[in-house]
Chains A and B, each alone.
Chain A
């Protein structure tokens, strides 16, 4: 260790001191990897599953908000942050950008979070919702979906490349925090 004193002090002085020095490379690195094309045909990229889960969550939040507008103040920030995560994952996977609005309207067919039973039923027409679901049940379904998404990210975090691990780890931690706010 040739850098010690100033560096350790900075961690307290500036929130992301460790980050400011080292994380910057980790952060930017995680958002710009290029997937080797030779890896594509063999097995699906595990990060794709993480992306699909998060995209499914965005839709689940949208559906829950339509079903229970009174939950919107609580759910909207979580949905916004999840949309940011989806965009970061698309960047990491070098996928073309897509506007979050298209998923927010709930008109796409992507339903990655199949565990969100009770929230994915109300898609475009609230009047078509046959069985009214209690807000508590909806929240419980969201909680389960968020937890599953966090577990999936944690599993990928253990085995993915060093370049991607910080991003995926962040997503796992964020899921734990979102789950807390849904409790």
Chain B
């Protein structure tokens, strides 16, 4: 798989995460909503940067889908936070995959930054949900 394909998947993942945070935001508590917005914004920024990167590689960035299938019913703050963790884990996996598809040090740093941010945000959501332990040994795996 070419690195552009891996980046396209990562971009598709960012689209999905942004959509998913819309669902999360509708279910979490009022106090958690600013954190959801901040997390979503981080992914919007990442999405735009990834699309720019793909354009610079002469690729046409993947478009967002109109609708995504949820992995489980999201009906309350608990399942909302669970989805948030799920979304960040998906993003972490996509970016971890990019790492193995390139030898370019700069692109590796970009992908590692995205992987780390997603892993950190997943950790914050697990803390918010009271999940123990709040970390995993191999983020993105």
B108: chain A residues at CB < 8 Å are 157-159, 165, 169
- B-side interface mostly: helix
Complex contact A170–B19 (CB within 8 A): no
CB distance from A14 to the nearest CB of B (A): 6
CA distance A88 to B137 in the complex (A): 10
Complex contact A12–B90 (CB within 8 A): yes
- In this complex, the member of A15, A23, A78 whose beta carbon has the largest number of chain B beta carbons within 10 angstroms is A15
- A-side interface mostly: helix
CB distance from A44 to the nearest CB of B (A): 20
- In this complex, the member of A8, A80, A85, A157 whose beta carbon has the largest number of chain B beta carbons within 10 angstroms is A8
Please give me the residue from chain B that is nearest to A3 by CB atom: B5
CA distance A158 to B116 in the complex (A): 14
Known: A17-B90, A23-B93. A9 touches B69 (CB 8 A): yes
Which residue from A7, A29, A158, A180 sits with its C-beta under 8 Å from B123?
A: A180
CB distance from B89 to the nearest CB of A (A): 5
Which residue from A4, A7, A85, A173 sits with its C-beta under 8 Å from B112?
A: A173
Q: In the complex, which range does the number of interface residues on chain A fall in?
A: 35 or more
**Does B87 touch A at the CB level, under 8 Å?**
yes
Complex contact A166–B105 (CB within 8 A): no
A172: chain B residues at CB < 8 Å are 112, 116
Which residue from A7, A23, A78, A174 sits with its C-beta under 8 Å from B97?
A: A23
A166: chain B residues at CB < 8 Å are 96-97, 99-100, 140-141
Interface residues of A in 24-48 (CB under 8 A from B): 26-27, 29-30
Complex contact A19–B94 (CB within 8 A): yes
CB distance from A161 to the nearest CB of B (A): 8
**Does A167 touch B at the CB level, under 8 Å?**
yes
**Does B31 touch A at the CB level, under 8 Å?**
no
Complex contact B68–A9 (CB within 8 A): yes
CA distance A27 to B47 in the complex (A): 25
CA distance A27 to B139 in the complex (A): 12
Complex contact A165–B99 (CB within 8 A): yes
Q: A7-B9, A8-B12, A173-B118 are in contact. List 6 more A-B contacts (CB 8 A).
A: A1-B8, A12-B71, A13-B69, A23-B141, A81-B135, A88-B138
B interface residue numbers (CB < 8 A to A): 1, 5-6, 8-10, 12-13, 15-17, 19-20, 62, 65, 68-71, 86-87, 89-90, 92-94, 96-97, 99-103, 105, 108-109, 111-112, 115-116, 118-120, 123-124, 132-141
